[in-house]
Structure 1
Amino acid sequence: MELKKRLTKIAFKIHGWIGLTTGALLLLFGLTGAMLMFRADLDHYFNNDLHMLQPGSTQVPVDSIYRMLVRSHPNLKKIVLHDFPVDRYDSYEFMLYKNQQGITDNYLYFVFVNPYTGKILKEGSYQDIVPSFFRWLYSFHYSLQLGAPGKLIAAIVGLVMLLSLVTGTIVYRKHFWAALRFKAGLNFKNRRTAVSSLHRIIGVWAVVFNFVLFFTGFWMNKDFFRPGAWAIKEPILNQGTPANIDSVISKASAVRGFTPIAVTLPTLPGQDILVRGKMAATSFFLLQGKASDISFSAITGQLKEIRVIDQQSREKRFDWEIYQLHIGAFGGNFVRWLYVVLGLSPGVLALTGALLWLKRKR
């Protein structure tokens, strides 16, 4: 009995200090993550000029746009055709991966192109808030706009919060079953009991979701614990591919059951053209999206390999499942709103926990 009491006391102290030291970050991650759940919808609403174009009689080949970007934007590791036009009024969105020249640099750059004229409609770095607030927000959520150090901080916060969940479970273990059966109601006897009961109930109901959220956040940034992820390379001289990009996309679209979603275009010799998308045969909900891919020779444009996500290694499937779990890219609007509500719970718990700590100190 004494050991249990001592363990609970230690867990309570650790749980409290974690909440106090990470509270601000949890609020930031929760608020930015909530907004990012509806990023595409909000981005379309506030940038209507990019998605309500005047249709033309002919379209500029993707191959021409790709070669224009290779010439006009130096020092790129790769170019990704991130989004095809969803209808005849929409634009192309390209994501350019820059070769970082500093550990805090943001390597992501976006370019919107008019498919009828080939002209750039809007472009900018994910590091700048003015060209695109939601792309700036995306980078802030994953790296605090600090590059590699920011991603390491995000990974560490994920690990620390997993410890917080463990210690919280130890402290409130007696209340779990009651809270899950809706037997532990709010106690409004005084302000402290109201905050305490609210903290306990929210913590119990959100524990599984928060475990998933923090573990996936850590897993996606785990590489930044390795020195190799911090390496700065020499500037790159872009080189276009001999193969025709439109021909490659056409061949990928002809593959039975495959729907192209994005295209990775090389800027260096020896890289393949990669068309990523969805296989109709893939049914598992966490393996949806652009999880499968088809590689093509950048020299001849010939199909080299079809990689269906269901047939990939356990590690690759797990990495994609982790990503899907973290962004809530399944289940439609119900799941997205659930992520918004539960995603704010760590910040609420940090706030109520801080109030309890202040009351206790007084």
Structure 2
Amino acid sequence: MAAAAQARPPRRRLRAALAWLHLWVGLIAGTAFAVVGLSGTVLTFHEELLLWQQPQLAGHEARADGAVLARILQRWTPQGLGSVQLPQADGLPVWQGYFADGRRGYFAPEDGRLLLLRSADHDGLLWLHELHTDLLGGEIGHQVLGVVGWIALGLLLTGLYLWWPRTGRVLAHLKMHRGPPVRRWLSWHRSGGVLLLPLLLLVTLTGVGMIYHAAARTALTTVFGGGAAPAPPQRAVPTDAPVDWTRVLATAQAALPHAHLLRTAAPASGDDAIGFRARTLGEWHPNGRSLVFVDRAGGEVLLAHDATAQRPGARMTEAIYPLHIGAVGGAWYRWAVALSGLLPAALLVTGFLFWHRRRQVRQQDRAAHGRLP
């Protein structure tokens, strides 16, 4: 057997080695890839599912009242509230609070009363979110997920290599067969993977890009131009003067008149700058990457950064997340992203069934030959 293996041409030996690696790595690491993909499919519709589960969050007028924001921050910042997302007419019409321990709070836009408090311990969607982003393992799980992402990319590319047909045989190699079982599962695995490979590659590559965001930004900005987002301005105040949130909101909105203010937080002690995340017309990122900073009194704009004015490399970096979650291109792309989350599980199942059925056939052949005189 060893001599026969050595007699194979180098290309056939390479192909055999890649096929072995593709099979066994796919069966092992493909399980994690499938779990991440399935959770991503559900999370594509996170907001709709949340409104369906919690109808008390719907039916409000999406109005950002400065007095209500002040009340929420005063009440909840001492309890770990880090930032607040403003009510959005095209999203959740309530205030959303993000806590340092991972909890999320939802407050009525009319008076700031608490409508819902969620945590991954008691909320299935947030649990799925943690599973999808760090495999429930915190920072270590996040890094493990990055390794899984690279392995997944390797599986997709080796699968493409193993499928690649001779000239004129493309359509024949794309055909899905009904039987026999070994041929059926192999053809379904290969053809389904190749037909939907561009979409799955895009979603997987953007997922890896999110995990290694700093490296991705450096690479893209080096090649296509751009740089880091501007640093928050630093301006100290001798005492923690009260914040005129009504005026602060108005000044921040006027600084970027074609943007929607999305998120803010209480200023740090001794800091006069209040920052806002905003989404300018033309931005893909659903959470916005434009920035506005104003002083506590709301009388001065300290910084206004329009993310659409950046060079291509920086804008490409900020397109990674919306491409991954299906936030661009309308409903058709969103459903396509949701479909892509089902593909790793489908490839895992068809790959396993092919291996299992082929193993059974080989065992039957050995048994049959063993009975021959």
On whether the aligned pair clears a TM of 0.5, the verdict is yes
> Deviation at 1:9?
1.1
Cα distance in 2 between the residues matched to 1:246 and 1:204: 55
Correspondent of 2:130 among 134, 139, 143: 139
Cα distance in 1 between the residues matched to 2:198 and 2:164: 14
Cα distance, 1:241–1:7 mapped onto 2, change above 3 Å: farther
**Residue of structure 1 equivalent to 2:275:** 274
**Residue of structure 2 equivalent to 1:331:** 329
TM-superposition CA deviations, 1:15-43 (whole Å, max 9, x none) = 11221112322221122111111111111
Q: CA contact under 8 A between 1:83 and 1:94: conserved in structure 2?
A: no
Q: CA contact under 8 A between 2:274 and 2:295: conserved in structure 1?
A: yes
Q: Is 2:240 aligned against 1:246? A: no
Q: CA contact under 8 A between 1:287 and 1:317: conserved in structure 2?
A: no
Q: CA contact under 8 A between 2:247 and 2:297: conserved in structure 1?
A: no
**Residue of structure 2 equivalent to 1:3:** 10
**Residue of structure 2 equivalent to 1:202:** 192
Cα distance in 2 between the residues matched to 1:206 and 1:176: 21
Q: CA contact under 8 A between 2:84 and 2:97: conserved in structure 1?
A: yes
Q: CA contact under 8 A between 1:296 and 1:303: conserved in structure 2?
A: yes
> Deviation at 1:241?
7.2
Cα distance in 2 between the residues matched to 1:55 and 1:291: 21
Alpha-carbon RMSD across the aligned residues, in angstroms, is 3.2
**Residue of structure 2 equivalent to 1:31:** 38
Cα distance, 1:176–1:353 mapped onto 2, change above 3 Å: farther
> Deviation at 1:311?
2.7
Q: CA contact under 8 A between 2:266 and 2:274: conserved in structure 1?
A: yes
**Residue of structure 1 equivalent to 2:181:** 191
User: Unpaired runs of 5+ in structure 1?
Assistant: 99-106, 226-238
Q: Is 2:102 aligned against 1:111? A: no
Larger Cα-atom Rg: 2
User: Unpaired runs of 5+ in structure 2?
Assistant: 1-7, 216-238, 361-373
Q: CA contact under 8 A between 1:294 and 1:306: conserved in structure 2?
A: yes
SS at match of 2:174: coil
**Residue of structure 2 equivalent to 1:102:** none
Correspondent of 2:140 among 149, 155, 161: 149
> Deviation at 1:361?
2.9
> Deviation at 1:175?
7.2
TM-superposition CA deviations, 1:294-338 (whole Å, max 9, x none) = 122357663111111133355542331111111110122211111
Greater CA deviation, 1-10 or 322-331?
1-10
Q: TM-score, normalised by structure 1?
A: 0.80
Greater CA deviation, 205-214 or 191-200?
205-214
Q: CA contact under 8 A between 1:243 and 1:298: conserved in structure 2?
A: yes
Correspondent of 1:222 among 199, 212, 223: 212
Q: CA contact under 8 A between 1:186 and 1:194: conserved in structure 2?
A: yes
Q: CA contact under 8 A between 2:87 and 2:109: conserved in structure 1?
A: no
Residues paired across the two proteins, number: 327
Correspondent of 1:291 among 289, 292, 296: 289
Cα distance, 1:108–1:315 mapped onto 2, change above 3 Å: farther
Q: TM-score, normalised by structure 2?
A: 0.77
* Pairing 1:76-91 to 2, within 5 Å after superposition: 79-86=82-89, 90-91=93-94
Q: CA contact under 8 A between 1:92 and 1:114: conserved in structure 2?
A: yes
Correspondent of 1:212 among 193, 198, 202: 202
Cα distance in 2 between the residues matched to 1:323 and 1:55: 25
Cα distance in 2 between the residues matched to 1:330 and 1:207: 19
Q: Which amino acid aligns with 1:273?
A: I
SS at match of 2:179: coil
Cα distance in 2 between the residues matched to 1:300 and 1:95: 24
Greater CA deviation, 239-248 or 1-10?
239-248
Q: Which amino acid aligns with 1:24?
A: T
Q: Which amino acid aligns with 2:303?
A: E
Cα distance in 1 between the residues matched to 2:326 and 2:168: 27
Cα distance in 1 between the residues matched to 2:340 and 2:172: 17
Q: Which amino acid aligns with 1:296?
A: V
TM-superposition CA deviations, 1:99-139 (whole Å, max 9, x none) = xxxxxxxx4221111233332222133x31x2x32222222
> Deviation at 1:50?
2.3
Q: CA contact under 8 A between 1:139 and 1:145: conserved in structure 2?
A: yes
Cα distance in 2 between the residues matched to 1:298 and 1:216: 38
